[in-house]
Chain A
Amino acid sequence: MNRQLLSGDEAVALAALHAGVSLGTGYPGTPSTEILETFFRLGGRAQWAPNEKVAMEVALGAAFAGGRALVTMKHVGLNVAADPLFTAAYTGVSGAMIVLTADDPGMSSSQNEQDNRRYAVAAGLPMVEPSDSQEAYDFFLRAIEISERWGIPVLYRMTTRVCHSKSIVAPHPETAPATRAPHFEHDLPDRVMIPAYARPAHLRLRAKLAEIAVWGETCDLNRQVLGSRALGIVASGISCQHAAEAAPEASMLTLGLTYPLPMELLRGFAASVERCLVLEEGDPVLADALLAAGIPVEAKADVFRFGELDVARVRRILAHDLSPEAKALSGKAPELCPACPYHTVYNTLRKHDCIGSGDIGCYSLGVLPPYQVMDTLVDMGASIGVGLGLRHTLPPDQARRVVSIIGDSTFIHSGITGLVEMIYNPPPTGHVVIVLDNGTTAMTGQQEHPATGRTLEHTRTGQVSIEAVARALGIPSVTVLDPHDDPDGFERLLLERLAASELSVIVARRPCVLAAADIRRWELHATARVLPQLPDGACEPAGAAR
């Protein structure tokens, strides 16, 4: 096939197609979002789940059925999905299961820079890491092989620069392993993790890892290039590329399989050079592992743990240069679009000096001037729990000003259990939750979600009504309104709900200005899919004001 210029995300999608992945699922999150979108565009079967945990479980089911499953998420998504992940390591899979985590060193669009290589060690799962788009393609096919050969989920770790950088890919679909027809065999001891079955399952997992470690010593995911004896560099991911540029003369051992590590290969490499430097972005995961194994390597200085690496920083690491780095000037910051429906809401919250328990999405821009109406922002869905905690603890005059602010996609992702908590443990002053419903997952590029009633492909499907969920849970006051059309009405309502010692949900509904035209088009073209029969009230048309 022809050489193509692809991003890492696109290369993975193409590899998934060529590998016959039968189901791609996930939850949007920069920098992973484009993988499923591209997989669908190329003809694959892709769908958005309400959150990463559900996506992980759907993928696991598909892999129990003998299919090849891909589940994608950003790094923090793996925290949400960690529960099924750890036990899926025990059950193993019958088909293939690739768990793709896209990390964001430097936090170009994330709330932390956690290093998900730790998950491979913690869960006991093989981890594969590409360094450019060609490897993103090649290694994906390898990851499928590993997963099927050992019946184990494989963690596929990418980072922002690998996901979003474009480089040349020469695809080779003919080398993809042949697919098998899905089929179910009863196998309770393998898949039912009661303690009696889980104990041997843990032993099985460790035995698989031991075998993979042996295989990893000679597999082509790890590559050695012998250069100068004076300097050897061990690297993985994008650091391999920076190293090749910053130190072209060095001997290099690039690791595509970063768990389990090829310790003998590493030991031999380290012994063959005078100075052996471990070059890794983020936490000193590789360096710590090698030092613990008694392999004499040099780790980068701790300042380079923060932010992403680049060629200039790699040169500094090589030169032991710890002089202060120039701080990049920040350019113009993003801001809410001029016609964004959130302006009215934020004006009102600011005017009345509310304490904003915030959440993550486009609406997080409310943290910036002129509004600064978000006092906390931690993780998706936290607005409700944190808001309740504040209400429980603050003196009444402050408690009454606490408002939880959550987006529609975030509400579906992890806000519903927050409402359950609110019903179960209501603060004495009540509480007010504002759902900013702009009809899309705007932050990550306007993806669909269960409350839009359209699939990843923008076709019609079952729709979850946010207000119906809130009412069904027993929230006494649930109101839907368009804050942009009726700013005074919104202000009156908010003041009334803050004054009442009651539980309230206000759904502020108006489409995102960036998505509005697309939403109209999708609605027009939404080819009717067969809707599942739902009980009355579980499914209301969007826009149904109360």
Chain B
Amino acid sequence: MSATGARVTNVVMAGLGGQGVITASDILAEAALHAGLDVKKAEIHGMSQRGGLVSSDVRFGERVFSPMVPPGEADYLLLLAPTELDAMAWCLRPDGVVIGTDLVSPDHLPNKRSLNVALLGALSVHLDLPPELIREAMLAALPEKLHATNEHAFEIGREAALARRAAGG
């Protein structure tokens, strides 16, 4: 709960350098901005291009103070690199949801590099934000030549999450 009592949604995204964690968190944060919410985003990207763990926190709601998700308060963990689960588990609340490659495998995507967007698609099923806003923010963030592949990936992610939900999982 935030200071005002209004619920803040906490999303942590993690992966390895080059997987598009920062892009994905930028997209989600922009979508929250366009939804008229307060939003903050934190990240550590010291040597992100050298293949190390990269993580980014996105928090949105009526009023957000700290840009960092407190340990044990993440509602969602978007995990692009399954090997990093142990390193990231600290952030999740007990009933927090991991959205990772077991839901959307990079091998089932038109382009493996769209995994970040596919997982955003899956996340969008869970959020109070209109998915249209996330899709628009995604298109605005990516060069036009990547639009078709990523729209496709976004849909694959959404469908996977809807299917899991329908299966009660």
Contact = CB atoms under 8 A, between A and B. Distances in A.
A and B from one complex: yes
A335 interface: yes
Interface stretch (A164-172, A377-385, A413-421, A465-473): A164-172
A336 interface: yes
B46 A310 contact: no
A132 B67 contact: yes
Interface string B48-68: 111111010000000011111
Contact of A336 (B39, B50, B72): B50
A331 interface: yes
A18 B46 CA distance: 29
A326 interface: yes
Nearest to A337: B50
A337 B66 contact: no
B103 interface: no
B158 interface: no
A30 B41 CA distance: 18
A5 B50 contact: no
A5 B30 contact: yes
Interface string B1-31: 0111000000000101100000000100110
A245 B42 contact: no
A329 B30 CA distance: 30
Contacts of B33: 3, 5, 168
A242 B53 contact: no
Given A5-B41, A165-B40, A166-B40, A332 B68 contact: no
Which secondary structure characterizes the binding site on chain A? loop
A331 B39 contact: no
Contacts of B83: 332
Chain A: number of interface residues, binned into ranges: 35 or more
Contacts, number: 116
- Centre residue among B44, B67, B90 by max chain A CB count within 10 A: B67
B55 to A, nearest CB: 8
Contacts of B71: 310, 312, 326
Contacts of A331: 14, 52-53, 55, 84, 87-88
A121 interface: no
Nearest to A107: B46
A476 interface: no
A445 B46 CA distance: 9
B10 to A, nearest CB: 11
B159 interface: no
A339 interface: no
Interface in A15-44: 30
Contacts of B47: 109, 334, 362, 365, 443
Nearest to A162: B67
- Centre residue among B41, B48, B50 by max chain A CB count within 10 A: B50
Interface residues of B, number: 42
Interface in B96-135: none
Contacts of A312: 70-72
Nearest to B33: A5
A160 B44 CA distance: 8
B43 interface: yes
A241 interface: yes
B139 to A, nearest CB: 16
B46 A166 contact: no
A241 B67 contact: yes
- Centre residue among A164, A242, A333, A445 by max chain B CB count within 10 A: A164
Contacts of A167: 39-41, 64, 67
A475 B26 CA distance: 50
Contact of A132 (B40, B51, B84, B86): B40
A245 B51 contact: no
Nearest to A446: B49
A108 interface: yes
Contacts of A335: 50-52
Contacts of B16: 332
Nearest to B90: A328
Nearest to B83: A332
A311 interface: yes
B45 interface: yes
A326 B90 CA distance: 9
B38 interface: yes
B53 A164 contact: no
B67 A165 contact: yes
A245 B63 CA distance: 10
Interface string B76-90: 000001011011101
Given A310-B70, A311-B70, A312-B71, A5 B39 contact: yes
A516 to B, nearest CB: 13
Contact of A108 (B44, B65, B67, B81): B44
B51 A337 contact: yes
Contacts of B49: 337, 445, 514
Contacts of B17: 334
A11 to B, nearest CB: 13
B3 A248 contact: yes
Contact of A30 (B2, B3, B4, B46): B46
Interface of A: 3, 5, 30, 108-109, 132, 160-161, 164-168, 238, 241-242, 244-245, 248, 310-312, 326, 328-337, 362, 365, 443, 445, 514
Given A132-B40, A328-B90, 12 more contacts: A161-B67, A166-B29, A168-B33, A242-B65, A244-B3, A310-B68, A311-B68, A329-B87, A331-B53, A332-B84, A333-B53, A365-B47
Interface of B: 2-4, 14, 16-17, 26, 29-30, 33, 38-53, 55, 64-68, 70-72, 81, 83-84, 86-88, 90
9 nearest CB pairs, A to B: A331-B53, A109-B46, A248-B3, A334-B52, A331-B87, A334-B50, A165-B67, A245-B65, A334-B47
27 contacts: A3-B33, A5-B33, A5-B39, A30-B46, A108-B44, A164-B44, A165-B43, A165-B67, A166-B26, A166-B41, A168-B38, A242-B65, A310-B71, A326-B71, A326-B90, A331-B52, A331-B84, A331-B88, A332-B51, A332-B84, A333-B52, A334-B17, A335-B50, A335-B52, A336-B50, A337-B49, A514-B49
